[in-house]
Amino acid sequence: MIAVVGSVNLDLVARLEKLPTPGETLSARDFDRIPGGKGANQALAARRLGAQVRLLAAVGDDQLADDALALLRAEGVDTGHVTRVPGTPTGIAMIEVDDSGETTIVVVPGANAALRIDPSQVADAQAVLTVLEVPDEAVSAAAAGAHDFFAINAAPARPIPPDVLARADLVVVNRAEYPKIPGLETARRVAITLGADGAVLLHNGTQVSTSAAPVVTAVDGTAAGDAFTATLMLGLMRGDSESEALSTACAAGALTASRPGAQPSLPTAGELAEMLRR
């Protein structure tokens, strides 16, 4: 069982030809409300790849909460540890997507900022995965409760508590986040995603593996990093070589980026296997 300690958002997505520059007003082509949040996305990504998944998160006491949790519940993620915070709205993300698949994202944390967990809630998990869209207290508790594999997707970028970084078996960041987080050069294993250029894997700051990304037509990169993170973690847990796990994770990220929306775009195990056979 995988325990994910992370965020739940409802994504408010506008699609337009190009992203606006500062001060510019543009008309969007369409608008949608889609379940998202880095914690929820990674929980669903792992579930679609066949893992049993428990999500520990916080949502508001509003209608948005049910919309944000709909796909997780429908596909069998255990949401019994998702708490509702009275008087607090569910987190939202305002996302702009242009015709090349590039995005701008502004997150309003809402109930995610109130998440607190006890380490005992993840103590029975084979792996614990957390993100930085929740408070340091929850991140540190996740690390303290992890008895086996512990991974952190360090996004959005901010300093990682030293106890968490020392405990991490895997840290995932993108190339913009890597220089903003102190201490990553000392971490045991860091994966850096490079978008269309693939990804690299570092041990204690030294590159040990690299992988190209499959060529796809980018539609929406919103959850590509979430698919990458979940896939890489599961591959390493399964005993795949680091190079194999990295290339599979790059394929998952590319497949996700080729489809619209956050959670709807996450691949199943069958879809990922088909892409790898190409």
CA dist 55 and 9 (Å) reads 13
Q: What letter would DSSP give residue 134? A: S
pTM: 0.94
pLDDT one-digit tens code per residue, 177-197: 999 999 999 999 999 999 999
Q: Which residues contact 151 (CB under 8 A, 6 or more apart)?
A: 127, 128, 129, 130, 168, 169, 170, 171, 172, 229, 233
Q: What is the pLDDT of residue 220?
A: 87
DSSP 6-29: ---EEEEEEE-SSPPPTT-----S
Q: What is the pLDDT of residue 278?
A: 79
Hey, how many other C-beta atoms are within 10 angstroms of the C-beta on 118?
11
For the domain made up of 2-18+31-263, give the CATH fold: UDP-N-acetylmuramoyl-L-alanine:D-glutamate ligase (3.40.1190)
pLDDT one-digit tens code per residue, 154-181: 999 999 999 899 999 999 999 999 999 9
Q: Evaluate whether 210 touches 191 at the Cβ level (below 8 Å).
A: no
Q: What are the extents of the domains in the chain?
A: 2-18+31-263
Q: Tokens 């890489």 correspond to what residue?
A: 232
Q: What letter would DSSP give residue 165? A: H
Q: Evaluate whether 46 touches 236 at the Cβ level (below 8 Å).
A: no
Q: What is the pLDDT of residue 102?
A: 86
CA dist 269 and 278 (Å) reads 15
* Average per-residue pLDDT for the chain: 95
pLDDT one-digit tens code per residue, 9-62: 999 999 999 999 999 999 999 999 999 999 999 999 999 999 999 999 999 999
- Given a cut of 90, is residue 8 above it in pLDDT? yes
Q: Is 226 a catalytic residue?
A: yes
Question: Among 136, 163, 226, 240, which one carries the catalytic annotation?
Answer: 226
CA dist 258 and 221 (Å) reads 8
Report residue 238 CA to chain centroid gap. Answer: 19
State the angle between helix axes of 38-48 and 63-74 in degrees (0 to 180), rounded to the nearest 10: 20
pLDDT one-digit tens code per residue, 200-258: 999 999 999 999 999 999 888 889 999 999 999 999 999 999 999 999 999 999 999 99
Q: What letter would DSSP give residue 239? A: T
